[in-house]
Amino acid sequence: MNEHDIKLRKLDHIFITLSKRVEEGESLLDEVALIHQSLPELDFNEVSTESLLLGKKLSAPLIVTGMTGGHPLSGEINAILAEVAEEKKIAIGVGSQRAG
C-alpha cells in the first residue's frame, strides 16, 4: 500500500468505529470463566494499581494504543487520547509510525 492508501484505510477505521457496532466480538476469552474469590479482610485503601514502565510511574498498568494512522482527522483524535492519558497518568503508544 502506498502512503495515500494507508491514510485512507485508517480514515475508514475511524468511520467504521463511529458508524457500526464494533464493541462486541467473539474470542477465546469467551471460554474463560473467572472464579470469584473475595478478600473481605483487604483494605481497599491499601491497594495500589500504580506501576513502573521504563522508569515512568503510571497510575495503572495500561497502555492506550492508537490505530488512527496518518490522516489529518486522526490528529484531533490522537490529541484527545494524549490529553486523557496524561491526565489519568497512563501510557500511550505511538503506533507503527509508518503512516506519517
pLDDT above 60: residue 100: no
- In the three-class reduction of DSSP (H, G, I as helix; E, B as strand; rest coil), residue 46 is classed as helix
**pTM score, two decimals?**
0.66
* Distance from C-alpha of 38 to C-alpha of 41, rounded to nearest angstrom: 9
pLDDT, greater one: 5 or 50: 50
State which amino acid sits at residue 87. E
pLDDT tens per residue, range 3-44: 778 778 888 888 888 898 877 778 888 899 999 998 889 898
In sequence order, which residues have a C-beta less than 8 Å from that of residue 86 and are 6 or more positions away?
none
